[in-house]
């Protein structure tokens, strides 16, 4: 079944893009820097190294920093949240120490992954040791999230329970992106590639 393109959208040709880029007065060197920033922010180390050779553009962050960040993001992404937390603390303890919400989110995700693996007693112990200390007041957000997480333990099929959305893989992916963004910002970089902002600017000109 073919999709209908909304009437407000226009087909953009290569010539259109080139004209808008020229009008925006984006120099080739600046565009190359934006592309390099995109590769490194997204974690495409191989592409960044090849682009450096072909264009002579110097990276705006070290390949080693990117590699370590990808190790952390990928660990959380595949569900090995405990390893991701450990590596994040090895990289820079302040990243989690200064961000209670992110720290809680990762610990909550770790409990969820233990539940997913049917490691119920470990999940309960982890919730008591790593989540409960955040719950100072019984009506705060952390307490409510702890309650929702513990509810999962009462069901043989947690995904089908009233708070089953916590088991959604998208929540794990969100946690992976949160730690990725936090690391980028701790190193003085933008959380999103700078190229995104240029594209948004150019797209606005086509409306």
Q: Is the sign of the CA dihedral 14, 15, 20, 23 positive or negative? A: positive
Q: Is 162 exposed, middle or buried (0-12, 13-18, 19+ CB in 10 A)?
A: exposed
Residue-level pLDDT at 88: 98
Largest CA distance in the chain: 62
Residue 23's pLDDT is 59
Q: Which residues of 79-89 are buried (b: 16+ CB within 10 A; e: fewer)?
A: bebbbbbebbe
Q: Which residues of the chain have pLDDT under 50?
A: 1-9
pLDDT of residue 31: 87
**Predicted pLDDT at 4:** 44
| pLDDT score at 2 | 43
Q: Give the separation between CA 66 and CA 56, rounded to whole angstroms.
A: 19
The enclosing H or E element of 40 equals helix 28-42
> What span, in angstroms and rounded, lies between the C-alpha atoms of 93 and 90?
6
Please report the pLDDT score of residue 7 as a whole number. 38
According to the model, what pLDDT value does residue 35 have?
A: 92
Q: Where are the domains of the chain?
A: 62-188
Q: Please tell me the predicted confidence (pLDDT) of residue 132.
A: 94
Write out the two tokens for 68: 């370590």
Residue with tokens 């705006």: 60
Q: Are 193 and 37 in contact (CB under 8 A)?
A: yes
């Amino acid at each position: 079944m073919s999709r209908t393109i909304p009437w407000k959208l226009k087909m953009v040709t290569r010539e259109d893009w080139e004209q808008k880029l020229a009008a925006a007065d984006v120099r080739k060197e600046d565009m190359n820097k934006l592309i390099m920033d995109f590769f490194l922010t997204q974690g495409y180390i191989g592409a960044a190294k090849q682009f450096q050779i072909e264009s002579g553009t110097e990276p705006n962050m070290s390949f080693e920093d990117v590699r370590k960040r990808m190790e952390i993001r990928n660990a959380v992404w595949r569900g090995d949240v405990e390893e991701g937390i450990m590596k994040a603390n090895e990289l820079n303890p302040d990243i989690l120490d200064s961000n209670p919400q992110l720290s809680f989110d990762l610990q909550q995700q770790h409990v969820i992954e233990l539940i997913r693996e049917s490691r119920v007693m470990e999940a309960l112990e982890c919730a008591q040791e790593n989540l409960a200390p955040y719950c100072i007041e019984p009506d705060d957000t952390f307490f409510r999230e702890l309650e929702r997480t513990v509810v999962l333990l009462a069901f043989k099929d947690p995904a089908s329970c009233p708070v089953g959305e916590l088991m959604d893989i998208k929540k794990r992916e969100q946690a992976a992106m949160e730690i990725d963004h936090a690391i980028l910002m701790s190193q003085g970089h933008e959380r999103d590639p700078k190229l995104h902002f240029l594209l948004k600017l150019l797209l606005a000109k086509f409306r």
